[in-house]
Amino acid sequence: MSVPTSTENTAPDGRMIPTGMPETATFRTPGDTAPPRKTFWTQLVQAFAMFRNPKSIAGLIILGVFVLVAIFAPLLAPYGPTQKDRTALRQAPSFDHWLGTTHMGEDVLSQLIFGTRGVVVVGFLSAIIATVIAITIGVIAGYVRGWKSESLSALTNVFLVIPGIPLIIIVASQFENPPLIVIAAVLGLTGWAWGARVLRAQTMSLRNRDFIQAARANGEPLHRIITVEMLPNLMALIASSFVGTVTAAILGLTTLAFIGVIPVSNLNWGTILFWAQQNGAFPRLWWWYVPAGLCIAIIGVALSLINFGVDEYVNPRLRSAGERARAMKKKGLDVNAPVTAVREVPVAGADPATSQTTQIQNPNTQK
C-alpha cells in the first residue's frame, strides 16, 4: 500500500514537512502462505534422526554386513554347507578350509555363512511380528479409556508371564521338521508384551498433550491421530523395542538349537555349536565353535550399539553428554581423565619465567 506525501516544507493544513521525504511510503505485509502441513512421511524422516549418531551408525554397518552375508551366502561360501571332504577330517584352518573342518570334513566357514541366513530370518521376522502386535495393542490400550484399555492391559500381562522357550519346545515337538517361520512366529507371539506395555504408558502421556487435543478438536479421524500425531513421537521406543526383540530372538534360536530342540537340518550358529559339543570339540578343536560364538557376540554388540544410540537420542542428558565428549575429543582432551587441561596463570609483578599453574577439572568426571 502506498501513501502519497508532499515534498514541500508546508502542508495544506499548515503542518511542517521535513525536506527530502520520499513521495510515497510503502508498507509490506507478509503473504498468506500457510506453513507446510505435517504428514506421516515427513515426521517419519525426522523420527529416524535417532540413527545418525556414531553408535547407531556403527551398529547398523555391522548388522548390514550380516544381512548381506545372509543374502549372498551361495556366492560367498566356498563349499556347500553339507559338502564333505573325506581327506580333511577335523582339520585345522588352512588355505583350502579357512576355518577348518568338522568331524565329517564339512567346511566350517561355509556352515557359518549359510547359518547366518537362519539367524537373520528368525531374528527380523520375529521382531516384525512382535513389533506390529505391540504397536497395535499398546497404542490402542493407551489411547482408549475404560474397560477396553483395561482388557488390553490384562491381555498384555497374561503374555508377560508366558514362557517362550518351553512353548517353542512344545510346538517343535508337533513337527518332524519345524520350519524357521514357525519358530519365528512363536518367538514373536511370545515377545511382544514388554514393548506393548511401554508403548501403552507413553501413549497415555501423549493423549492429553495439546497437539493431540487440537487434532481431536479439528475432527481428525482416529487412524490419522495415531499414525500422524502419535507414532512419530513413539518411534524411538518402537525402534528400541524392535532391537531388543531381535536380540532376544537370536539368543532364543541359538539356545534352542544348542540344546537340540531344533532339528539339525535347520542350519544356524546354534546347530554348529550343538555338533561341536556332541563330537567333543571343546576345547581342542577351537576352530569349530569359536567362530560361531564370536558371530553371536558381534551381532549382539551391533544391536547393543544401535540401542545405545537410540537411548542417547531419546535421553537429553545422554545426548548432551555425548556431544560434550565428542567436542572434547576433537580438541585432543581426554574425556576420562580427572584433569583435562593445564593453564599457566602469570602472577602480577613476578618473573615471567615463574608462573602458577591452574588445573581445570573435567566436568564429565564424577568424584
Mean pLDDT (whole number) for 31-56: 64
Cis omega (within 30 of 0) on the bond before 263? no
Instruction: Measure Cα distances from 15 to 5, 8, 198, 297 in Å.
Output: 12, 10, 73, 88
CB 165 within 8 A of CB 251: no
Burial 68-103 (b: 16+ CB within 10 A, else e): ebbeebeeebebebeeebeebebbeeeeebebbbbe
| Distance in angstroms (rounded) separating the CA atoms of residues 83 and 86 | 10
Q: Amino acid letter at 130?
A: A
27 pLDDT higher than 50: no
The confidence score (pLDDT) of residue 235 equals 85
Burial of 301 per CB tally in 10 Å (0-12, 13-18, 19+) = middle
Mean pLDDT (whole number) for 154-160: 91
H runs (alpha helix) in 72-179: 73-76, 108-143, 147-160, 164-173
The confidence score (pLDDT) of residue 358 equals 47
| Distance in angstroms (rounded) separating the CA atoms of residues 54 and 183 | 34
> Phi-psi region for residue 162, left (φ > 0), alpha (ψ -120 to 50) or beta?
beta
Mean pLDDT (whole number) for 201-205: 91
Mean pLDDT (whole number) for 251-257: 89
Nearest Cα to Cα of residue 274 among 287, 292, 294, 252: 292
For residue 65, the surrounding DSSP H or E stretch is: helix 54-71
pLDDT tens digits for range 286-330: 999 999 999 999 999 999 999 888 877 776 666 666 667 667 777
Q: Which three cell numbers stand for residue 15?
A: 503542518
pLDDT band with cut points at 50, 70 and 90 for residue 226: confident
